[in-house]
Amino acid sequence: MDDPLPVIVYPPDEQGGRRVRVDGEILGRALGPADVLEFLRRAGRDPDEVAPYGEGLIDWRGGGPATWHTP
């Protein structure tokens, strides 16, 4: 894949879920990092090539991949 699709994971909501947007489209609400990887797979990304804890592909807003509840 030439350029990675922009991925935004929004801050946790009241129930701890986080909206996931890929290439401008909300794909759903993730309840953990595995859900984020599944959304990326559905968007055509290879989950084995995505590092959710690294920098670059995913813009984690309101906390990183370990944040799944309201602070």
Residue 71 forms part of a structural domain? no
Read off the DSSP letter of residue 31: S
Enclosing domain of residue 37: 7-60
Question: For residue 16, how many other CB atoms are within 10 A of its CB?
Answer: 14
Q: What is the pLDDT of residues 18-32, one digit of tens each?
A: 999 988 899 999 999
Residue 69 forms part of a structural domain? no
Q: Are strands 58-60 and 7-9 parallel, antiparallel or unpaired?
A: parallel
Q: What is the pLDDT of residues 37-54, one digit of tens each?
A: 899 888 888 777 766 655
pLDDT of amino acid 65? 86
Q: List strand residue ranges (DSSP E) for the chain, in order.
A: 7-9, 18-22, 25-30, 58-60
The structural domain count of the chain equals 1
Residue 68 forms part of a structural domain? no
Distance, in Å, from the CA atom of 58 to the CA atom of 66, rounded to the nearest integer, reads 13
Residue 48 forms part of a structural domain? yes
